[in-house]
Every structure is written in C-alpha cells, then in structure tokens.
Chain A
Amino acid sequence: MFTSTPYDMHHRLPDLPENTDWPRLVDGYRHMTLIRTFDKKAVNLQRTGKLGTYASCLGAEAIATAGGMALQDDDVFVPYYRDHATQYLRGVPLHLILQYWGGDERGNAFPADTPAARDLPNCVPIASQLTQAAGIATKAKLDHAKAAVLATCGDGATSRGDFHEALNVAGVWQLPLVVMVNNNQWAISVPRSLQTASDTIAQKAVAAGIEGFQVDGNDLPALLEAVDYALDKARHGKGATLIEAVSYRLSDHTTADDAGRYRKASDLHAAWQREPVARLRQALADAGHWDAEQETQWLAECQQRVDTAVETYLNQPPQAPTDMLDYLYAELPEALKPQRQRLLQQQPGDHHA
C-alpha cells in the first residue's frame, strides 16, 4: 500500500471518502481535544510552580493519538516524551502523567490492569529507547506473539546511533517494530536542516533494508491508516517500518525553552494554519459528523476531566523519602541499610541547612 510511493507524503484530509470510519475519527478528535486541553493546563501548572519542566505536545496531538488508537492491548508502546495522548489511550490516567512531570517517579507506575502495564516510561536520553524497543520486539518474535512494538522519537533522535542501530537490527532480524518519528522540524533550537542532509527521514529506512514512508503528521486519518498498516504488518511477521510523521512543534521545546530566540513568528503562524485539531474538526464538520453544539459540550467535558485530574494530582500524598532506595534493587542490599537508616532520621529540610 505505502510502498508504491515511499517518500511522497501521505495525506487524507480534507477530502475524506464516503466509506471513512467516521465514529473512529470522531473518537480520535475527542482524544486530541482532550489532550490539548490537558496540555494547556499542564503548561499553566508549570508557570504557577505546580509542575516541573514539562514537554508540551502542542502540534503532536494527531501523531500521539493515532499511535494510541492503533495499538492493541498485547502490543508494547515505547515513547519518547511528547506522547501524552498515546499514554493516556494506553490507560495511564492524566493525573499520573502530571505526577511524572511533577517530579515524582510514581507517575511511571502505570496501572497493572491496563495495556500500559508493560509499556516503557518516558525516555529522556534521546533515541536510547529505540534499541530497547528492538529488544522488546525481539521478545515478541521469540514468543511468536501476534504483537508489535511502536516506538516514537523526534527528528533530532535520527542523528543518533541508536536510531540507526535499532532500524538495522530490525531489518536483519525482521522484527515486529514500528518506529514513528515525529519530525516536528526542531530539536530544541536546531532545525531539521541541520540534523541531516537527506531529503527525508523516511528514506533512512532504505539503508536498514526496511520499509519507510512519510505521512502528514497533522492528518489523523492518514496517520491512522499508516500506523494501522505498519503495526498490522509487524504483527503478521512481515517486518519493521519507519514512519516519518511530518508536523510542526507549535510549542517551545519544553517550558524551560523560549522558541522566540530561534523560530520565526511567520513560520509559526504558517504552521498554525495546518495544525491537526482544527483541520480534523473542519473535515468532520464539513462531512456532517461534528457540530458547534457537540464542540461546546465536549470542550466543557474536557475541562472537567482535566480539572479532576489536576485535583487528584495535587492531592497525592508525598512519597516516603526511603522510596529512593527501596525500589533500586529487588531487595535492599545490606550495604544500603545504614544509608536507609540515615535517610529515615533525616528531618525534612535538612538539605537546606
């Protein structure tokens, strides 16, 4: 399907065919708006000192939503760190996502009764999750499981060895792995043009002997088709796929960044004209599957869900300081017991003295 035009960007919007799975797209639209509401709130929480440095997903809503919707329960998701929508769709409650960005590792303790239970947590060291994803895909292959691994990264990650090493082994071992690059044009301040001289990121799949293609990262129907296809192919033992989802980072890199230092206002303005949420809303409205009343009701519902999540997050009891030692080994080694004792005796605020 995609192999015929590997490096032509795949679009579906705005002209969706009659036989489109409209309920699925409406679902997808709802997830995207929920996560955008969440994202806005998370940035505000950081600005008011109630959250740590946070990586916004503004502009990445369609990519992360498509991943979350296309994954099946037995698949494994290996994120980078702008995948809040995927994590939410895998069963991670919004308050846990906040807890993670609030500096609390308990936010990585995903609920055991959800598909997220075996997913990896966010990966901060760029691209290092990709070789791990290949390892997880190897297990799926050894198990003869009808399961696939979806790993994500940004365009900056494609400059690292891990990216190429993961694709390389996925080709050699025919792994059930899908690597989806969110090419949002920026790695903090460094533009895509300074990461690689290749015409596309997708073409890097050629060197690994796997399939690769570009898809419009602001186009949920196109993304769903692409990720469905690649995951299905992986589950059926037909090998790995590299998907380059072309988007634009509408946010700063994180709340600690100021993109105004390096990004032209006109570029940002142009990118907003193609942003994924409004585009899908327009297409759904044009086809008669979404209207202003639904929009108002749903946005109110999103706000309420986010507010509830924030309340739950802010009301979490503090962790025991000994947690920093107690989860390091399966059992606390003798050698660490005196340190644990000292930690227990240490009064809160000792470290400020």
Chain B
Amino acid sequence: MHSAQPHPDTSVPLNLLEAVNQALRHAMEADENVVILGEDIATNGGVFRATEGLKETFGFRRVMDTPLAENLIAGLAVGMASQGLKPVAEIQFMGFIYAALEQLISHAARLRNRTRGRLSCPLVIRAPFGGGIHAPEHHSESTEALFAHIPGLRVVIPSSPARAYGLLRAAIACPDPVLFLEPKRLYRLQRLPVELDDDPLPLDRSFTLRAGEDVSLISWGAMIHEALAAAEQLAAEGIKAEVIDVASLNPLDRDTLIATASKTGRVVIVHEAPLNGGFSAEIAATLASDALMHLLAPIERVTGYDCPMPYFAMEQHYMPSVERIVAAAKETLKY
C-alpha cells in the first residue's frame, strides 16, 4: 500500500485513541468500501471517542449506529464483508464480545476456506480490552487466548500509538478477518510520535522493543509498559533485558520468539489474562520444543490469577506488576 503522496501531517504526537481514530479516518479516505459500525459510534463518536468526527465527515451511510446486539454487529459485518465491503465493527468492550463468537468462529474465520476462495471475509472487529481503568464489572477482561485458538482469525494487539495506527491500517487492508484488541489502559496514557503514512505494519510479526542479552521479557498490549519498566529496573542492576512485543497472537511469529530465547536463554512471559490456558502456554510450549537446547532456566510466566478479573477495588492485586516481572526475571538468573 504505497502512496505517492503521503498524508502531509506525518509524524504527529498522538495518544493510542487518537491513533485509532486517525487510522479509521485515513482508511475510510483511502477506500470507500471501508464502513464502520457499532454501538454509539456515530453521533456519540464511541464511548471512548475512538470514532469521533467520522460521522461528520463520512455520513451515516458509512458510519452506522447499530441496534444493541453484538451478535448482530458481527453478523452484519460478515455479510457485508462477504460482498466486498470492508467493515470495521466496534464491540464496545471485550466483555460483551461473546455473543459474537459464533459469527467469528463459525463464519468469519471459515468463509474463505469453506468456499475454497469464492468468498472471503475482510472484516475487522475492534474491541477495547484489559484492566486498570477502574471500569465497571465485565469491562476489564483479557480473553485474547480464546480467539488466538481460532484458525483463520487474526488476533492483533497494539501496544503504542504508532503500532495502533500502523497495525489498524494493516488490519483494515488485510483480506482476512482480524480481531483488533485495543489496550484501553493505554488509550490516553501518553502522546507519542506517530507516522501517518500509508505503509501499514506487518500483521504477523513480533516487535523487538529493547535489545538485551540476559533475559527476554515477552508480552503484548498494555503489559508491554510493565515489561519495559521492569527492563529499566533490571538495567539499573546491570541486567540487560530484551523486550518483545508479540503484537500478533495469530498467526504467531515463532521465529522472533525462538531467536530471543536462543539468544538470552532466559524467558519471562507476561500477560494480564489468567495463567491456565493463557497464551503464554503456547509461547512456552513453542520455546520448549524449538529452543530447548538454548534455555538456561525454566520459563517464567507472570500472569493474572486463575479467577475472573476482579471488580476494580482489587484489580491492582490481580494485574501483573513491575515488581513481579523483575522478580521473575531474577528467578531465571539463578540458574
């Protein structure tokens, strides 16, 4: 997707929410088949304001407030995508996405395969996910592992404004269905420079955010910030941590993960979601299989506990902290 004339306002400071908004706007400008739909997204601009201003520019025709039914939103998107539109549907919170599972699993992820390429399903489902903003019940879950298990459904998670912009542009351009999970704790965390060009980021690559030789910290989404902070603390003690942002849970960039594990020999995987069946298990199994001879210590997993995401009074007890990550990294260094 190279454009002869990039947007003139390249590299502007944006927070993650603004980056999402700009990605939607630019994707809609670039391709008139891009439409967006969801609850409260048109006149209200989305409950987080991710779609603010889009109705004013593109009209109700391309910015659709739907009835309040997540299964309907997903079904509409599948139908639209099957006929060549590129719908970007917002599910208001990940905690409400489960009504849409049948459409995603049984239809979106399978349509190309089961018609042997006759039809395809180039949709994007956006959903804010994760905890840490003192939200109501059912508003703070991280159930990405459920979706990463579905063949044919790409699962993409940005961890910065720049990756939110680049990955969302890539997700919308992608001919496959993409679940785009937005770490809402980062929405307004900080403004960072974002290159607003038409060069989307690769959709199935992990990003190395910090190089180091002693231990690998592997994470995604909001937890990348805890991982980076842990790397800083470790650096103060002379421990060089490498930080990998997985970014795409499906398909998984196993090569980057194997390379970092082979390089450092020590691995800490961090996610907000519970331990049991968490996506760290897939990564750990990959490394146990393909990097075993390079591992110097057992793989550590720093995760949420095996309980439902607690209501916000206790969420800080649940979420992996910098201290837990640092301790886990030091644990691997005992070997």
A138–B81 Cα distance when bound, in Å, is 11
- The stretch that binds B, out of A14-22, A165-173, A260-268, is A165-173
- Among residues 118 to 140 in chain A, which have CB atoms less than 8 Å away from a CB atom of chain B? 118, 120-121, 124-125, 128, 130-139
Task: Say yes or no: A131 contacts B71, CB within 8 Å.
Answer: yes
Interface string of B233-274 (1 = CB under 8 A from A): 000000000000000000111110000000000000000000
Complex CA distance for A327 and B80, rounded to whole angstroms: 20
Q: How far is the CA of A169 from the CA of B112 in the complex (A)?
A: 26
Does chain B have a CB within 8 A of A333? yes
Q: Which of B55-106 contact A (CB under 8 A)?
A: 61-62, 64, 66-67, 69, 71-72, 74-85, 87, 99, 102-103, 106
The CA of A286 and the CA of B266, in the complex, are separated in Å by 86
| Contact residues in B for A323 (Cβ distance below 8 Å) | 116
Number of interface residues of A (CB under 8 A): 43
Is B120 engaged at the interface, CB distance under 8 Å to the other chain?
yes
- 1/0 per residue B103-135: CB within 8 Å of A? 100110000111111111000000000000000
What's the Cα separation between A120 and B103 when bound, in Å?
A: 14
- Distance (whole angstroms) from the CB of B334 to the closest CB of chain A: 33
In the bound complex, CA of A226 to CA of B84 (Å): 30
- The distance in angstroms between the C-alpha atoms of A120 and B77, with both chains bound, is 14
- For B107, list chain A residues within 8 Å (CB): 125, 128, 132
Residues in B neighbouring A78, C-beta threshold 8 A: 79
Kindly identify, within residues 169 to 193 of chain A, every residue whose CB is under 8 Å from any CB belonging to chain B: 169, 172
Separation of A333 and B156 alpha carbons in the complex (Å): 14
* Residue A76, interface by CB 8 Å: yes
What is the minimal beta-carbon distance from A127 to any residue of chain B, in angstroms?
10
Selected from A109, A130, A166, the residue in CB contact (under 8 A) with B115 is: A109
B255–A334 contact, CB under 8 A? yes
Judge whether B38 is part of the interface by a CB distance below 8 angstroms.
Answer: no
Chain B contacts for A109, CB-based, 8 A: 115-118
The answer on a CB contact under 8 Å between A136 and B252 is no
Query: Given the known A-B contacts A335-B251, A335-B254, are A327 and B116 also in contact in the complex, defined by CB atoms under 8 Å?
Result: yes
Give A151's nearest chain B residue, CB to CB: B79
Question: Does chain B have a CB within 8 A of A1?
Answer: no
| A117–B118 touching, CB < 8 Å | yes
Q: Give bound CA distance, A282 to B61, whole Å.
A: 50
Query: What's the minimum C-beta distance from B78 to chain A, rounded to whole angstroms?
Result: 5
Residue A328 lies at the interface, judged by CB distance under 8 Å to chain B: yes
Say yes or no: is B331 at the interface (Cβ < 8 Å to chain A). Answer: no
Q: Is the CB of B114 within 8 A of A169?
A: no
A142 on interface, CB distance cutoff 8 Å: yes
Contacts of B255 in A (CB 8 A): 334
Residue B162 lies at the interface, judged by CB distance under 8 Å to chain A: no
Q: Does B196 contact A (CB under 8 A)?
A: no
Query: CB of A162 within 8 A of chain B?
Result: yes
Q: Report yes or no: B253 in contact with A128, Cβ–Cβ below 8 A.
A: no
Distance of A156 Cα from B84 Cα, bound (Å): 30
A76 to B79, CA, bound (A): 11
Are A108 and B118 also in contact (CB < 8 A) when A165-B71, A333-B251, A334-B204 are?
A: yes
Closest CB in chain A relative to B255 CB, distance in Å: 7
Distance to closest chain B CB from A338 (angstroms):
9
Q: Is the C-beta of B226 less than 8 angstroms from some C-beta in chain A?
A: no
Q: Is B175 an interface residue (CB 8 A)?
A: yes
Digitize B182-222: 1 where CB-to-A-CB distance is under 8 Å, 0 elsewhere.
00000000000000000000001000000000000000000
User: Which of B76, B117, B176 sits near A135, CB closer than 8 Å?
Assistant: B76
| Cα of A117 to Cα of B84 in the assembled complex, Å | 13
CA distance A166 to B74 in the complex (A): 12
CA distance A130 to B76 in the complex (A): 9
Task: With CB as the reference atom, state the residue of chain A lying closest to B106.
Answer: A125
Nearest CB of B to A219, in Å = 30
Residues from chain A with Cβ under 8 Å of B117 in the complex: 109, 327
The docked-state distance in angstroms from the alpha carbon of A183 to that of B120 is: 31
Neighbouring A residues of B6 by C-beta, 8 Å? none
Write out the residue numbers on chain A whose beta carbons fall within 8 Å of the beta carbon of B253. 334-335
- Inside 8 A of A121's CB, which chain B residues have their CB? 114-115, 119
Q: Report Cα–Cα, A125/B116, bound state, in Å.
A: 19
Query: Are A135 and B77 neighbours in the complex by a CB distance under 8 Å?
Result: yes
Of all chain B residues, which has the CB nearest A141?
Answer: B61
Q: Which residues on the B side are within 8 Å of A258 (C-beta)? A: none
User: Assuming A333-B251, A334-B251, is B106 touching A139 (CB within 8 A)?
Assistant: no
Say if the beta carbon of A93 comes within 8 Å of chain B.
Answer: no
Contact of A301 with B by CB under 8 A = no
Bitwise interface map of B from 25 to 37 toward A, beta carbon under 8 Å scored 1, else 0: 0000000000100
Q: A80 interface residue, CB < 8 Å from B? A: no
A131, A135, A172: most-surrounded residue (chain B CB, <10 A): A135
Beyond known contacts A128-B107, A328-B113, A330-B120: 16 more, CB 8 A cutoff:
A108-B114, A109-B117, A110-B115, A118-B119, A120-B82, A131-B72, A132-B107, A134-B76, A135-B77, A135-B81, A138-B76, A138-B79, A161-B69, A162-B71, A323-B116, A333-B251
Question: What are some 17 contacts across the A-B interface (CB < 8 A)?
Answer: A105-B113, A105-B116, A110-B118, A120-B79, A131-B75, A132-B76, A134-B76, A135-B75, A135-B79, A136-B83, A142-B85, A165-B67, A169-B76, A327-B116, A328-B113, A330-B176, A333-B251
B contacts, CB < 8 Å to A = 35, 61-62, 64, 66-67, 69, 71-72, 74-85, 87, 99, 102-103, 106-107, 112-120, 151-152, 174-176, 204, 251-255
Q: Which 6 A-B pairs have the closest CB atoms?
A: A135-B79, A131-B75, A132-B79, A335-B251, A333-B251, A135-B76
